[in-house]
């Protein structure tokens, strides 16, 4: 178990190192001189030189890379070129919107998918099953930003149940803040809930065909007893994988949804930074998101090992 986790940890750290190199390379090398790229075509040469110095561009490449990584490890993301404040400060305020939104959507997605998948699998080919398949087929085809717009039209503009956008901040109270995140979270959760429902359903159907379920049935358990006591736990492995993957999709998808609802999260920050050519902010946010994804992958690996003792030995 420990060896397995150590191996995974090593492999994921290597992924992080490679990812940071790629992000650094792309943002430092390709646009030519980042300082003049960031300041635009008509910049004053002395201002460009000052920025070059501030960004440490007169240093050798690897030195700059290590300097950047060393800073990251200490929580120092550099200074934003447009906001003139430490990136860490900008990011930490935005994370308080993006992360709760992602978690909210993940909880919604799981809370919808779990019962829907179980109902569909336990009543295979029933009208309920067919309805679930139809709705999920539609759910994966709907772009979440369009669904978000439809939600705004229905629940904000017509029914006035929610506001159409904006975020009052956590100071306004937990429920007020959560209410502002509700429509965005539903918009984000819909496609993921559809995918998860289908995985849950098919995984459960596969497990219900297994010998040990037949044995349980032969011992006199009813179909639903066999499902709840034996099949469900075994069906959870692929579901867990998808839940882990969904975190990264939701985190990235949030970038777009935040723009629909004008939420002051990481997504808005990235797009503002892109339009202002603030590469330092862009690359810091991206590496932070990649780190979050990798960390969650590792947590899923641990969850695997707990859910299925066999994996502790057999998995590479």
Q: How far is the CB of 22 from another protein (least distance, A)?
A: 7
By CB under 8 A, name the one of 30, 73, 159, 218 that touches another protein: 30
15 forms part of the interface with another protein (CB under 8 A): yes
23 forms part of the interface with another protein (CB under 8 A): yes
Q: How far is the CB of 279 from another protein (least distance, A)?
A: 8
CA–CA dist 276, 257 (Å, integer): 20
259 forms part of the interface with another protein (CB under 8 A): yes
300 forms part of the interface with another protein (CB under 8 A): no
Q: How far is the CB of 219 from another protein (least distance, A)?
A: 25
27 forms part of the interface with another protein (CB under 8 A): yes
4 forms part of the interface with another protein (CB under 8 A): no
By CB under 8 A, name the one of 9, 22, 107, 178 that touches another protein: 22
C-beta closer to another protein: residue 23 or 177? 23
Own/partner contacts of 217-223, CB < 8 Å, gap of 24 or more, are: 223/122
CA–CA dist 234, 254 (Å, integer): 31
Binding mask 136-175 for another protein (x = CB under 8 A): -xx-xxxx-xx--xx--x---x------------------
Q: How far is the CB of 46 from another protein (least distance, A)?
A: 25
Q: How far is the CB of 186 from another protein (least distance, A)?
A: 16
> Binding residues for another protein, per CB under 8 A?
11, 14-16, 18-19, 22-23, 26-27, 30-31, 137-138, 140-143, 145-146, 149-150, 153, 157, 195, 198-199, 201-203, 205-206, 248-249, 251-253, 255-256, 259-260, 270-271, 273-274, 279, 282-283, 286, 289-290, 293-294, 297
């Amino acid at each position: 178990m420990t060896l397995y986790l150590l191996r995974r940890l090593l492999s994921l750290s290597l992924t992080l190192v490679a990812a940071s190199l790629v992000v650094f390379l792309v943002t430092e090398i390709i646009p030519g001189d980042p300082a003049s790229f960031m300041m635009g075509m008509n910049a004053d040469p002395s201002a460009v030189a000052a920025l070059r110095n501030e960004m440490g561009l007169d240093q050798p490449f690897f030195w700059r890379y290590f300097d950047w990584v060393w800073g990251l490890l200490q929580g120092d993301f550099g200074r934003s070129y447009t906001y003139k404040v430490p990136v860490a400060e900008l990011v930490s305020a935005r994370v308080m919107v993006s992360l709760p939104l992602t978690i909210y959507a993940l909880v919604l997605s799981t809370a919808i998918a779990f019962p829907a998948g179980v109902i569909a699998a336990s009543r295979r080919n029933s009208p309920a099953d067919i309805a679930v398949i139809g709705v999920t087929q539609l759910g994966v085809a709907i772009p979440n930003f369009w669904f978000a717009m439809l939600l705004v039209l229905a629940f904000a503009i017509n029914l006035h149940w929610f506001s159409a956008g904006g975020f009052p901040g956590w100071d306004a109270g937990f429920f007020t803040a959560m209410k502002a995140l509700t429509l965005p979270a539903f918009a984000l959760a819909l496609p993921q809930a559809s995918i998860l429902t289908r995985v849950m359903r098919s995984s459960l159907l596969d497990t219900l065909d297994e010998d040990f379920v037949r044995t349980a049935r032969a011992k006199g358990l009813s179909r639903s007893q066999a499902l709840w006591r034996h099949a469900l736990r075994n069906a959870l492995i692929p579901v867990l994988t998808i839940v882990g993957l969904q975190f990264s999709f939701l985190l990235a998808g949030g970038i777009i949804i935040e723009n629909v609802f004008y939420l002051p999260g990481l997504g808005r920050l990235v797009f503002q930074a892109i339009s202002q050519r603030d590469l330092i902010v862009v690359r810091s946010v991206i590496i932070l998101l990649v780190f979050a994804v990798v960390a969650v992958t590792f947590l899923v690996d641990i969850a695997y090992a707990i859910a299925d003792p066999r994996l502790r030995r057999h998995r590479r």
